[in-house]
Structures are given as structure tokens and as C-alpha cells.
Amino acid sequence: MLDMDNSLKEVNSEIVIEFNDTTQAEIIYKSIILEFQTAPDYRSSMEIKLQDNTINICIFAEDSTSFRASFNSAIKWVKLSLEINNLIQ
């Protein structure tokens, strides 16, 4: 049986995605920034930052379930943006 007193109180993480060049990082950043700004934040929140050729995504969640949902959303947005970008190049 799960002991609720020992369950996770919060989960925080940083995802760092490095791109080949700053142009690619900027294109992906601009294509997903709106998703991060408008994502519902009931039990978690996300921040995204562009620095040179890397995108940093910080996830702050109240529990592991909301962390997993936020993580999956962030990765899905980046992956989809990369796929679309690769199609048009």
C-alpha cells in the first residue's frame, strides 16, 4: 500500500537541449514559446530560455504525475517543431 506521507512533495527539473547552431535554436524557441506561455499551470509550471545554441526548459511540479505531463508536453512541442523545421528545409 502506498504511504502518502512518503510520497513526493514536488518535482523540479531542467532540460537542456543543444542544437547545431544558434539559428536552429532560435527557430525552435520562437515556434514553441507561446505553448509554454499559455500552458495550464494548475499543478505545474514551465519556463523556457534561449541561450546561444541551447534551449533550457525548467519544470516545477507539485507531484510526479503533473511533472510527467509537463515533461511529455515540452518534449512533444520541441520534437514537433524540429520535424516541421526539417520538412521545410
SS3 assignment for the chain = CCCHHHCCCCEEEEEEEECCCHHHHHHHHHHHHHHHHHCCCCCEEEEEEEECCEEEEEEEECCHHHHHHHHHHHHHHHHHHHHHHHHHC
| Residue 2 within a domain | no
Q: Is the pLDDT of residue 3 over 60?
A: no
| Residue 6 within a domain | no
| Residue 16 within a domain | yes
Of the pLDDT bands very low, low, confident and very high (cuts 50, 70, 90), residue 5 is low
| Residue 5 within a domain | no
| Residue 38 within a domain | yes
Q: Name the domain count of the chain.
A: 1
pLDDT for residue 4: 54
| Residue 83 within a domain | yes
CATH number of domain containing 43:
3.30.310.50
Average pLDDT, the chain: 90
Q: Is the pLDDT of residue 46 over 90?
A: yes
pLDDT for residue 48: 97
| Residue 1 within a domain | no
CB 11 within 8 A of CB 46: no
Strand ranges of the sheet holding 11-18, from the earlier edge strand across to the other edge: 11-18, 54-61, 44-51
Q: Domain range holding 39? A: 11-88
